[in-house]
Amino acid sequence: MGGGEEGAWLSGAGGRGQAALWALLVAVVTASATPFAEEPTNGSAALGGEAELRCAVRGGGAAQWARDGLLLGATPSRHPRYRLAGDPRRGQYHLRIRGVQLEDDATFECQAGGGNGTEPPRASRPAQLRVLVPPGPPALELPPGAELPWVGGAEVHVRCHAHDARPAPRLVLTLGGQPLPDASNRVFEGSHPKLSSAEVTVRLTPQRQHHGQRLLCTASNEAGAAPTEAALTLDVLFPPGPPTIEGLDSPHVRAGDTLELVCVVRGGNPPPSLHWDKDGRPLAAPWVTQRPLAVTRSPLVVAVTRADDGASLRCRVRTEPPLPEGGSAGVTLHVTYPPSEVTLAGPRGGAENESLTLTCASAPSNPPRLRWWLGGSELRPTETSTAPVRPWGRGGGHGDVIEPDAGGAAQRPRAPPGVRGGSGGSGRGQSQPRSEHHPPPDSLWVEAPPPNATFRAGALVRLSCHARGGHPPRLVWRRAGAAGAAGGALAGAAPEAEPRGQRRRLQLRDSAHQGAPTASARLRVLFPPQSVSITASPREPRLGQRLQLTCVTGSSHPAPALTWRHHGRTDPGEALPPTPAPHGGVSVASRLRLQVALQDQGHVVTCEAASPALGVTVRAGHRLSVRRERGNGGGMRSMGVNGGLYGVNGSQWVSMDVNGVAMGVNGPAAAPRPPGGRVLAREHSHVVLPLLGDAHPPLRDCAWSHAGTRLAPSPRHRVLPEGSLSIGNVSRGDAGSYRVECRNAEGRGSAGLQLEVEYPPSIVRAPDPVVVDEGGTIEMECEAEGHPLLDGSLQWERLVGSMGALSPAALGLPMGLEAVGGVPVGRLRGSGARRDMGGAYECRVDTGVPPPARAVIRLLIRYGPEMEAVPEPEPIPVLVPDGADAVAVGCRARGCPLWSCTGSSGAAPSAPWTAGSSSSNGRTPPGPAAS
């Protein structure tokens, strides 16, 4: 066909076909094109923040939003937090959400139609809004019995947990800024199905270097909030290092010397106490702890005498509570001393080449040694003998010298300087002095620190003296009226001295000139107490007698604060007036009065003198020695103890006297004081059942039994050297009666007590949920176990709020509900069940042993469905295109448990409704409606 023919066809009858073709093309393009100029996209928002989902429709058409398949309406006024933003004339229907809640974590769609009633509504692609919830503050949890302080080297399980976050919280445990290795992480469902909780557990073995470090748990997630923290400062008990003795270069010392020894121990928590003894006899010496340096020192001043030859000085380390012994250090003294007199006997002269016999005898000396000299040459004696001399002498000696050289002179044996010989001479001489005149200096001054400057004891202070004019003077320093070191003969002498006094006046004068000028300077020195001593009156009190202890410090500046430590308690005592002391300081004193009890035998009472300005604490201890009456049976008996329970300062004593053997078992002082001789211990902790034996001869062969079964030594059960029973990792099976039996040469004795083990409560039965018909009888049960379970430890509370954030109600239980029963089974009862009674209830058991146990029980009040009319005047508009096959209609009803919706159109029933499009089936909580 030619081109002309084709044009004729189009302009002829084919014109009508062309129009139909164009209409078909427009319909296809219109049907395939999306009505949305902008569709919503996936996003996230923080809990409580704002979110915006954007939607724009072409041609200015109408639009509405749906959440999880349920329409929100053209204007979502039913949801106060939802509103539309944008210009509707431009087809903008952006959905803005204020105060985002967990229920907003859903799928949203924007639905739009053509607006002419001929096109069905079109839905945008679904957009997922993810609500981010930051984790709550984490919590560090220690197992029962692992409370601070920790014992170094003992493994501890540390657990940190954070709850109700989205996404799951990330937990990091650090110690001293370094992450802890081998952490075990676990994520589990929170209080709401959309929330997650997490916990991390590590096994930590504390060491001495961990003392004082922070154990930090950090929780964070993608919600963007600042990480939350929980911290714990570690207090680790560890033994001190071995002691060392300073101040003695060699054990060989001379009689008359004064030894200034210092016992030094580094480390240790708590700081150790140091005790000196000489050949096993205690010596009074204080000890000082410098906490910033973790160094404990104990000075000891010993005046060496001949009797100290072979004496052993030892410094012992003790800790409280007892830790592995830090050991001891000792030194054995070897005292040397010269003879007090040397006697030379024999002829005073002789012929040439004649043999002479001379005898030399010395008073006791150590070591005994005699040497002969002739004309500057040493001679060998022909005989030497040593005779023992008491009490400390080493002996004397004599020798024979044969054929002295011609012209020689026999000389006395040499002895150390200062020893008087058996013979000697005296000389006499004269001299004529020469008189000269030297003018004194014109002026004299001292360069010194400012008058208000203070110095710590041990610091070096440099003082410079200057003289001007006159003859070069001879400078002499004096301190507090005593002669000091002489300076040089030149001006500008600068002695360096160690400050000793509080306000020490140093004076400088020219000793070579009468009436010469003087200069002075004052120093203000801070120094701790030089000594702390305790006196007791009476020294050995009887049981029940009043004991008075007096603590007196040496000179110090400023005045220290005195406190007493007795059986782990701190007592300020009775302060006495201070008195002036040497070096410009003061001496303070404190008095403590005690009623002597049986448990005080061998106990050490400590007096502490603290100088906060210097950071130094000086301590002294006094060991109590209690005298007891001797009974008729010949053994030692305890006064006032006739069997049964005997309480002393919070301790329990179960005591009895059999065949002259009095015994007692006491519980730890930190435990409560239950009646009937009971001792309390926490599960997984460590407990020691101390044994007090009062017998003569001493107790031996002590055996413990539990519930009638003898205990054999094991890693958990150990009998300590003094007879006490140590139980590690206490379990519930360790509870029960214990008995100890000891014997000596006079007979046997036994005593018993009851050990009770405390462990946290737990809920073993709590049926959930409890469904009750409206008007029926309510009964909820909660059964718990634990020790102790006391009346009032089980409580009921009503919870309000959403499942993600339940909290106790302010008004308590609803009217008509009453808590009945006690422990171990508690009940919540009520009659005439009402709808407002429905909700969540918490059963909480708190026995004082952490952590408390909780269980949530849901109460559902069952009643029939009730329809709810759509409130006017804001009906929900539904776009129904003409000729549409289906239409989405919402149904709103209230009921419990399940409900379903059916509908009709006019007089004829409608087609079956399906969930999500035309109907909704589901379980709703009591009270709220569902649509």
At residue 927, the pLDDT reads 40
At residue 485, the pLDDT reads 41
pLDDT > 70? residue 527 = yes
Alpha-carbon gap, residue 269 to 235, rounded angstroms: 8
Task: Tell which wins on pLDDT, 349 or 825.
Answer: 825
Buried/exposed 576-603: b ≥16 CB within 10 Å, e otherwise: eeeeebebbbbbbbbbbebebbbbbbeb
Which candidate, 883, 885, 891, 877, places its Cα nearest to that of 920? 891
Alpha-carbon gap, residue 368 to 396, rounded angstroms: 7
Number of H helices, E strands in the chain: 2, 78
Mutual angle of helices 3-11 and 14-32, in 10-degree steps = 80
Tell me, what DSSP letter sits at residue 376? T
Stretch (H or E) spanning 58: none
For 478-487, write each residue's pLDDT tens digit.
Answer: 775 544 443 3
At residue 436, the pLDDT reads 47
Distances (CA, A) of 774 to 762, 798, 883: 32, 19, 46
Question: What is the length of the chain?
Answer: 931
Give the residue-averaged pLDDT of 558-566: 91
Alpha-carbon gap, residue 135 to 386, rounded angstroms: 90
* Residue 355 CB neighbour total at 10 angstroms: 10
Is the peptide bond preceding residue 167 cis, with omega within 30 degrees of 0?
yes
Phi, psi angle pair for 535, to nearest 5°? -120, 145
What pTM was computed for the model? 0.41
Residues paired with residue 199 on neighbouring β-strands, in sequence order: 161, 186
User: 237 pLDDT band (50/70/90 cuts)?
Assistant: confident
pLDDT > 90? residue 108 = yes
Alpha-carbon gap, residue 462 to 496, rounded angstroms: 5
Alpha-carbon gap, residue 717 to 703, rounded angstroms: 12
Which candidate, 852, 863, 855, places its Cα nearest to that of 893? 863
Which candidate, 450, 446, 469, places its Cα nearest to that of 518? 446
For residues 116, 117, 120 and 126, what is the CA-based torsion angle, rounded to 10 degrees?
60
pLDDT > 80? residue 582 = yes
Structure-token pair, residue 512: 């070579």
User: 868 pLDDT band (50/70/90 cuts)?
Assistant: low
At residue 753, the pLDDT reads 85
User: 388 pLDDT band (50/70/90 cuts)?
Assistant: low
- Residue type present at position 547: L
pLDDT > 90? residue 390 = no
% the chain with pLDDT above 90 = 16
pLDDT > 70? residue 694 = no
Average pLDDT, the chain: 74
- For the ranges 42-46, 630-634, 640-644, 845-849, the lowest mean pLDDT is seen at 640-644
Stretch (H or E) spanning 23: helix 14-32
Tell me whether strands 503-510 and 475-479 are parallel, antiparallel or unpaired.
Answer: antiparallel
Indicate the SS3 state at residue 810: coil
Alpha-carbon gap, residue 66 to 241, rounded angstroms: 74
Alpha-carbon gap, residue 677 to 545, rounded angstroms: 25
Structure-token pair, residue 210: 């961990």
Indicate the SS3 state at residue 655: strand
User: 235 pLDDT band (50/70/90 cuts)?
Assistant: confident
Give the residue-averaged pLDDT of 12-28: 51
pLDDT > 80? residue 703 = yes
Distances (CA, A) of 92 to 57, 118, 128: 6, 22, 20
How many CA atoms does the CB half-sphere of 827 hold within 13 Å? 7
Alpha-carbon gap, residue 549 to 605, rounded angstroms: 9
Contact 534, 550 (CB under 8 A): yes
For 157-189, write each residue's pLDDT tens digit.
Answer: 899 999 999 999 999 999 988 899 888 899 999
Place of tokens 């071995």: 242
Which candidate, 564, 570, 590, places its Cα nearest to that of 578? 590
